[in-house]
């Protein structure tokens, strides 16, 4: 399953890496790609991982999911 969300507050590659690290620590997330240039996060995950779980992880990393 793939989820794409917009994220506010990513300014650099380090920001992207922080979000990716937080997301890939979730059980059931296979891959996470955060692009600070267009403010998106793409997550490949098991269906048991909800969009709400992904949004919480982005928030935990210090960024605002839109």
Q: The pTM is what?
A: 0.93
Q: Do residues 63 and 6 make contact, with C-beta atoms less than 8 angstroms apart? A: no
Give the model confidence (pLDDT) of 46-65 as tens digits. 999 999 999 999 999 999 99
CATH, domain range 2-65: 3.30.70.100
The length of the chain in residues reads 66
Question: Cα–Cα distance between 40 and 28 in angstroms, integer?
Answer: 20
For the chain, the structural domain boundaries read 2-65
Give the model confidence (pLDDT) of 16-50 as tens digits. 999 999 999 999 999 999 999 999 999 999 999 99
A 10 A CB-CB count for 4 gives 11
């Amino acid at each position: 399953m793939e989820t794409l969300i917009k994220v506010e507050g990513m300014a650099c590659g380090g920001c992207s890496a922080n979000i990716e690290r937080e997301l890939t620590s979730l059980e059931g997330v296979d891959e996470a790609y955060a692009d600070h240039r267009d403010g998106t996060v793409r997550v490949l995950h098991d269906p048991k991982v909800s969009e709400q779980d992904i949004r919480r992880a982005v928030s935990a990393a210090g960024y605002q999911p839109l």
